[in-house]
């Protein structure tokens, strides 16, 4: 969701709490409950050497006792529009880095930057800027949400800027991203939708079905053409019907589809989340934030392109009609809610926040789990699932705060 520079909010200082350990020194974290792909290990340990997790500890390794805490792989957000008062669609490179850092402070060690509907030339220009940040390793890629979406399910997108998914225009955005396009959200029932899905699949870009008014049959056709993601399932699409099941049934029943869920307590009723988990399973669920500028920043007035947004009590809505306009969610809150409110196991929540999105992005050889050889991306939580430390590529972003 795109807020213009000058968005008004209550600033919350983004602070880090560096550990006094020697920078770059090998580290062994001991005593934690460690969530591994093979299961949860009590009183476990994790060894970090340089930027990677390793199997053996060098003799000069420092020991940090994190007994009573959970060690999880770093969170991965595949759908995020900004944070810290900064927009990934309209901010400068410095603004974008501020937004990325805001989410890192909340455990998101890998992030795909999402844009919103805009003029094609403007989006192509933004793709160039974002691709530079991807090349620098700051983001994992670019997600284009709009303009190829349905006016019937536009959400907080400007209707005047929407267009049908012409494959030539979709290709223009892919080319502008210089190989860094990860995902495009489409209303695949629109003219050119199915052909655009095929084009994306041929270029190794995820075709996501979202902001759609498609029927069940049209959704099945798009999946068969190569679509593999449901953009924030349940939101911005027809509700599940017993005679006209619409896209939700098609997306939930097909094992080729990964469903995004915004677990903030506003976008989804807990029963809807449970339905998705029971039908799809954690291996097909990716928790996302769909965050806009106010995430980690505060309540106030913001702009989504030409649309003004009021953020009150952490909920973002269009000022004109009250439509939900993205979220102010961070993934540490999504994790805690999943375990404490939704009743998910810690292991399933970790899968939805790390392993599934890593696999979807084709990056599970490097991130998404705590295994030797992978990047030292981790989150440290206390027994109440409150964030107490974040490490990215072997460097502490936050903490560890052990007292």
Question: What would the two tokens of residue 60 be?
Answer: 């000069």
**Virtual torsion, Cα 331, 332, 335, 337, nearest 10 deg:** -100
Residue (of 363, 366, 369) closest to 350 by Cα position: 369
How does DSSP assign 154-173, residue by residue? -TTS-GGG-----HHHHHHH
Rounded Cα gap, residues 13 and 116, in angstroms? 26
User: Which entry of 49, 95, 264, 290 is annotated as an active-site residue?
Assistant: 290
Rounded Cα gap, residues 393 and 349, in angstroms? 22
Residue (of 239, 280, 272, 268) closest to 334 by Cα position: 268
Rounded Cα gap, residues 363 and 336, in angstroms? 25
* Beta strands 181-186 and 206-209, pairing class: parallel
Quick one: CA dihedral 52, 58, 63, 66, positive or negative? positive
290 a catalytic residue: yes
Residue with tokens 């998705």, as numbered in its chain:
276
Active site residues: 290
């Amino acid at each position: 969701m795109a807020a213009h520079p000058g968005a008004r909010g209550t600033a919350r200082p983004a602070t880090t709490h560096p550990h006094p350990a020697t920078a770059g020194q090998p580290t062994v974290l001991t005593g934690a409950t460690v969530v591994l792909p093979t299961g949860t290990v009590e009183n476990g340990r994790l060894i970090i050497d340089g930027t990677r997790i390793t199997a053996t500890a060098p003799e000069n390794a420092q020991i940090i006792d994190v007994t009573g805490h959970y060690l999880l792989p770093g969170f991965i957000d595949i759908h995020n529009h900004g944070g810290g008062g900064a927009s990934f669609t309209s901010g400068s490179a410095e603004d974008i880095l501020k937004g990325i850092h805001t989410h890192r402070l909340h455990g998101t060690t890998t992030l795909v930057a999402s844009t919103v509907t805009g003029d094609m030339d403007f989006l192509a220009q933004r793709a160039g800027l974002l691709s530079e940040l991807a090349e620098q390793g700051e983001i994992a890629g670019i997600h284009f949400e709009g303009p190829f979406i349905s006016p019937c399910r536009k959400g907080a997108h400007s209707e005047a800027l929407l267009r049908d998914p012409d494959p030539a225009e979709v290709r223009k955005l892919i080319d502008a991203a210089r190989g860094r396009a990860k995902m495009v959200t489409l209303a695949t029932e629109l003219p050119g939708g199915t052909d655009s899905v095929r084009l994306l699949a041929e270029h190794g870009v995820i075709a996501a079905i979202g902001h759609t008014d498609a029927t069940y049959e049209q959704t099945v056709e798009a999946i068969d053409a190569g679509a593999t993601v449901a953009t924030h399932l349940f939101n911005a699409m027809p509700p599940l019907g017993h005679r006209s099941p619409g896209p939700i049934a098609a997306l939930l029943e097909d094992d080729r589809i990964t469903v995004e869920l915004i677990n903030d307590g506003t976008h989804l009723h807990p029963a809807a989340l449970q339905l998705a988990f029971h039908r799809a399973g954690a291996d097909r669920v990716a928790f996302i934030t769909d965050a806009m500028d106010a995430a980690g920043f505060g309540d106030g007035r913001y702009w989504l392109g030409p649309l003004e947004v009021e953020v009150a009590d952490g909920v973002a809505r269009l000022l004109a009609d009250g439509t939900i306009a993205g979220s102010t969610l961070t993934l540490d809150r999504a994790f805690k809610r999943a375990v404490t409110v939704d009743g998910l196991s810690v292991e399933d929540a970790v899968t939805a926040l790390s392993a599934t999105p890593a696999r979807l992005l084709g990056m599970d050889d490097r991130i998404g789990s705590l295994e030797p050889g992978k990047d030292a991306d981790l989150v440290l939580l206390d027994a109440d699932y409150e964030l107490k430390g974040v490490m990215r590529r072997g460097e502490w972003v936050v903490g560890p705060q052990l007292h």
